[in-house]
Chains A and B, each alone.
Chain A
């Protein structure tokens, strides 16, 4: 369907520019359904004027003609990180290319569309199609690498090539054994399933439903670049690295998401009270983490969280009473199993367990990604 043009080009460009200028927050990363309405499907045909290859979302600008009138539309696509993994780059489309776009329109009525398919008219080929699948695994399992003292290496193997963990088998925090369906942004496909996701107290269930109903548009990780504390740090497409500092008995967890924050797990037997500055009343985004080895499994106890962030992709609430026991097991060279027991008597009726696996991405650095607005 060709959208009817309503404004001359110059006015429409001015209008789009003005809208973009005044709605900076809306340009930040966001769940798709928070900005675009699945009920408003549309197809546009036009000519590319610009490709904005930049986090958190790629944009292709296209002039759409209707009779003597032309409108400039913004086509929003996945992040350059995901598109680059899928084999695309900033020049996969160029100004002057004719394309057809199918997708869903912006809820606020501006000339923006989420591009579900983008097809180059000249070749009939789809471009900028995201591929979310993990890289192929080795045909045979390789043993987990070990340090000279025999302990399992959780990150880069001694003398081995660099790499990081990514492609979590679950990107939504939901209690083990619970079978409910979500979209890629952790929005429930059936809102009535909210009470099944975790053993939520009534107020926490109400708040979870409220956030879900608003399509997670208030997520402070995207709105305010807040750190992905709690188990959320291991459910990002952007990955993380585990750097073992054997000499100082600590492990750094470097995030590929958020603002590239890091978390420190101490294995030196220190007390759990107090923080970096010695202030024991200073709750943190990542809490205070003490680790120990149980055979080949790293066990981490964490307390001292603040309440300034969302600890899950789907908007499950937590309180400062939250404590976690995490277990990291590198079962082979390419697989890291993560198990967490969540104990938050402020938001949940009982402790509950979640587990998933991550895949090793060897020979690469984490993809560059910073929390930022697209261009104004």
Chain B
């Protein structure tokens, strides 16, 4: 099979872009995170956007509904765990690959009686 030059260039460009992730050497939670959580009735994809204003972690989560403002988020740097509350959702996770821009958070989410595991990856 012969691939045209343009096709090869496109593949090369796309694979290059796929490995790029904007560096983030500041507050570890800051950035856009995308992932999946299992067992959520409104969808198993989730978007989390977090910012750091010097005192608080702010932002939104979107678990397949409207955006929900983060009402409370606490990072514990002694073990790199994070607790997030937004709407009726509560999220408890642990940072992994903290040294990388595409670090992840894994843990459990809950909403009333529903709960399940999740993993989100910083974009």
Contact = CB atoms under 8 A, between A and B. Distances in A.
Interface of A: 202-203, 205-207, 210-211, 214, 218, 220, 224, 226, 307-310, 317-321, 345-347
B54 A203 contact: no
B80 A346 contact: no
Contacts of B28: 203, 207
A310 B99 CA distance: 12
Contacts of A226: 23
B99 A203 contact: no
Contact of B24 (A203, A307, A310, A345): A307
A318 B99 contact: no
Contacts of B80: 206, 210
Given A224-B23, A307-B30, A319 B77 contact: no
B99 A214 contact: yes
Give chain B's interface secondary structure class: loop
Chain A CB within 10 Å — which of B26, B52, B80, B100 has the most? B26
A206 B77 contact: yes
Contacts of A321: 54
B25 A310 contact: yes
B22 interface: yes
B98 interface: yes
A186 to B, nearest CB: 16
Nearest to B55: A345
A102 B123 CA distance: 45
B93 to A, nearest CB: 15
A206 B25 contact: no
B68 interface: no
A203 B27 contact: yes
A347 B26 contact: yes
B78 A319 contact: no
A317 B54 contact: no
A255 B23 CA distance: 22
B15 to A, nearest CB: 17
Give chain A's interface secondary structure class: loop
B34 interface: no
Contact of A308 (B25, B27, B52, B99): B25
Nearest to A308: B23
7 contacts: A206-B78, A210-B99, A317-B25, A318-B26, A319-B26, A319-B27, A321-B54
A308 B24 contact: yes
Interface string B91-108: 000000011100000000
A220 B99 CA distance: 10
Contacts of A211: 99
B75 interface: yes
Given A206-B80, A307-B26, 6 more contacts: A207-B28, A210-B99, A307-B24, A307-B25, A308-B25, A309-B25
Interface in B21-45: 22-28, 30
B52 A319 contact: yes
B54 A205 contact: no
Nearest to B77: A206
Nearest to A205: B77
A203 B77 contact: yes
B23 to A, nearest CB: 4
B30 to A, nearest CB: 7
A203 B54 CA distance: 10
A346 B26 contact: yes
Contacts of A202: 77
Nearest to B80: A206
A346 B54 contact: yes
Nearest to B29: A203
Contacts of A320: 26
Chain A CB within 10 Å — which of B53, B77, B98 has the most? B77
Given A210-B98, A319-B52, A203 B75 contact: yes
Chain B CB within 10 Å — which of A210, A211, A307 has the most? A307
